[in-house]
């Protein structure tokens, strides 16, 4: 009788703990369901617009298809033809030329502009906004405006050169000057954007480093070389990686300003891909070009991580 009477008393706290555990599990399950519902739109967007096209393009790269008839499985023939195509080799050279020119200009000009803007003075925010404005301007608009400026007879640039007695080149109409013209236009668009990134990196450096350098008698050049550049290495690494990726994917400026000409001097990889897909309707071959471009960008990014990643605290 006494043992039986004590049983409910012992079961009471245990039952309470069990009830609280079930309630906690139900609340946790409800939170998980709510979280998945909030993630569902983003997951659907990723599946429809990223994962499916990515996988379908890979599948398509092993087929021959003109978007009208049926697909024909060709195995690795598209890749074999691509690697043996002299025109594709030329596009790789043109893309590398464009990338090297743009990145050299960005690293020098963006850092110099960031150093010039890294001052607290009246109206500096306005200047920062002005220099950043090309980054948010349409590529089409930029291409059309610069195409007019590069016009050989009546363009602004050659008119200014004529004032000082220089006969300007034909710019985008000359195979030797067409790619430098694109590089100049790309620099005008992107220098302001990357200068803002460098400016953020500069403002993230603790002033105590510069104060210690002044106490030790370091001059401006020594301070820049031994303090600013090493502490800007993570920012420089980010700019280099992003700049190379964006440069290898250039298309808008080429399409608007040169159309890949003259005589193929500005035909880059993405423009070559566009031609194969939407001019010659070789969708399988174009998909192979896309995956080779992906492999090139991926390999270059890995090389940059191996070469610079060891000097950067990630």
Query: 156-163 vs 139-149: helix axis angle to the nearest 10?
Result: 40
How many Å apart are CA 140 and CA 185, to the nearest integer?
12
Percent of the chain scoring above 70 in pLDDT = 92
pTM to 2 decimal places: 0.86
3-state SS track over 227-254: HHHHHCHHHHHHHHHHHHHHHHCCCHHH
**Average pLDDT score over residue span 1-14:** 49
Q: What is the residue whose two structure tokens read 């990357």?
A: 194
pLDDT at residue 10 is higher than 70: no
Helix, strand, coil % in the chain, rounded to nearest 5: 75, 0, 20
Bigger pLDDT: 266 or 11? 266
Average pLDDT across the chain, whole number? 88
Spatial contact of 172 and 181, defined as CB atoms under 8 Å apart:
yes
How many Å apart are CA 14 and CA 31, to the nearest integer?
26
Least confident of 43-57, 58-72, 112-126: 112-126
What b/e sequence results for 46-60 when a residue is b if at least 16 CB atoms lie within 10 Å of its CB, and e otherwise? Answer: eeeeeeeeeeebeeb
C-alpha distances (whole Å) from 62 to each of 48, 210, 279 are 21, 58, 20
pLDDT at residue 313 is higher than 70: no
| pLDDT, tens digit, 9 for 90 and up, residues 197-242 | 999 899 888 888 888 888 888 888 888 888 899 899 999 999 999 9
| pLDDT, tens digit, 9 for 90 and up, residues 130-179 | 888 888 899 999 999 999 999 998 899 999 999 998 998 999 999 999 99
73: its two tokens: 């499985």
Instruction: Establish whether the linkage from the previous residue to 262 is cis, with ω within 30° of 0.
Output: yes
Query: 139-149 vs 178-203: helix axis angle to the nearest 10?
Result: 130
**Of 289, 265, 238, nearest to 110 (Cα)?**
238
Q: Cβ contacts of residue 147 below 8 Å, gap of 6+?
A: 172, 256, 257
In this predicted structure, what is the pLDDT of residue 310?
A: 63
DSSP state of 72: E
pLDDT at residue 45 is higher than 60: yes
**Of 269, 261, 305, nearest to 290 (Cα)?**
269
pLDDT at residue 2 is higher than 50: no
pLDDT at residue 125 is higher than 60: yes
Of the pLDDT bands very low, low, confident and very high (cuts 50, 70, 90), residue 121 is low
């Amino acid at each position: 009788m006494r043992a039986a009477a004590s049983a409910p008393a012992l079961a009471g706290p245990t039952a309470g703990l069990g009830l609280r555990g079930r309630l906690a599990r139900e609340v946790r399950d409800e939170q998980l369901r709510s979280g998945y519902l909030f993630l569902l739109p983003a997951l659907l967007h990723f599946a429809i617009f990223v994962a499916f096209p990515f996988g379908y393009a890979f599948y398509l790269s092993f087929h021959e298809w003109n978007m009208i008839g049926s697909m024909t499985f060709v195995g690795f023939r598209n890749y074999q033809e691509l690697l043996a195509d002299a025109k594709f080799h030329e596009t790789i050279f043109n893309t590398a030329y464009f990338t090297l020119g743009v990145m050299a200009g960005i690293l020098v000009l963006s850092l110099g502009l960031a150093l010039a803007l890294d001052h607290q003075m009246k109206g500096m925010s306005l200047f920062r906004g002005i220099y950043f404005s090309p980054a948010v301007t349409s590529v089409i608009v930029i291409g059309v405006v610069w195409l007019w400026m590069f016009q050989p007879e009546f363009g602004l640039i050659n008119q200014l050169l004529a004032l000082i007695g220089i006969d300007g080149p034909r710019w985008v109409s000359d195979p030797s000057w067409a790619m430098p013209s694109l590089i100049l236009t790309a620099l005008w668009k992107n220098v302001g954007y990357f200068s803002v990134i460098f400016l953020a990196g500069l403002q993230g450096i603790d002033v105590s480093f510069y104060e210690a350098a002044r106490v030790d008698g370091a001059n401006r050049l020594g301070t820049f070389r031994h303090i600013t550049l090493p502490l800007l290495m993570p920012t420089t690494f980010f700019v280099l990686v992003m700049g190379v990726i964006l440069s290898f994917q250039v298309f808008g400026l080429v399409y608007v300003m040169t159309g890949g000409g003259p005589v193929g001097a500005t035909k880059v990889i993405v423009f070559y891909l566009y031609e194969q897909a939407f001019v010659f309707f070789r969708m399988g071959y174009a998909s192979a070009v896309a995956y080779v471009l992906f492999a090139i960008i991926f390999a270059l990014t890995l090389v940059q991580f191996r070469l610079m990643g060891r000097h950067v605290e990630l």
